[in-house]
Structure 1
């Protein structure tokens, strides 16, 4: 195996480990917020979506419409989101944050943000640009593969 192959294998192993530990950390935070992981990830996936609809949330997350409705029901009961009818088309519903849990969520994520920032402070601007490019490409591929997996799964 070449040195490049070894480095790629090691990076792949490290990314898998980072993904696992990130998932475990998010599970702890979800537990602390009284949520299940799916609900926390719905909140995260939708954070930059203006005028979010349940259909768009299903599209972003890859969840079925019924699973999306169940997640929104749980988030609404816990006070994280509210559904608002479109004033021009009463059939259309938007989902928005209530703002009630942002401070608590930020507090729980703060140690992760602080630790990540401390690590990133060790890199030059050029290295950060390279890492950013890598992660943007990786996220795009992961989003595409998620959509493909969803589309190719057998229907009951």
Structure 2
């Protein structure tokens, strides 16, 4: 899909800023905007991608797989404000809510096994924090 998509991101470290999140999420496609909201344990972000396919790749790679807080996996789902949501995104969100109701970890839904008719590149693993800082280091970061 070519429509832009907005992801909801929670369980973000207190020291992670918009620049850090942009670097992390840009590993999966063109990030148009990152905005942080709230403070402390209620902190979350919205990451806007240029395409739903890029957003799907980020969800597949980062949702419950990446941590910016020790022992607290990052939650990456389509935002209720997203102008477009893929079927994959809906299914990941539904599984996450079902798992929360049943008080269990969510099942992983691999993107490459989800839609065999859609040609996708493999989803790469998330970059390490050191790689994000080292490869994209700018003054003042």
Under a length normalisation based on structure 1, what TM-score does the superposition of the two structures give? 0.28
Q: Larger C-alpha radius of gyration, 1 or 2?
A: 1
Under a length normalisation based on structure 2, what TM-score does the superposition of the two structures give? 0.30
Q: Which has the larger share of helix?
A: 1
Q: Which has the higher contact order (CA 8 A, sep 6+)?
A: 2
Q: Which has the larger share of strand?
A: 2
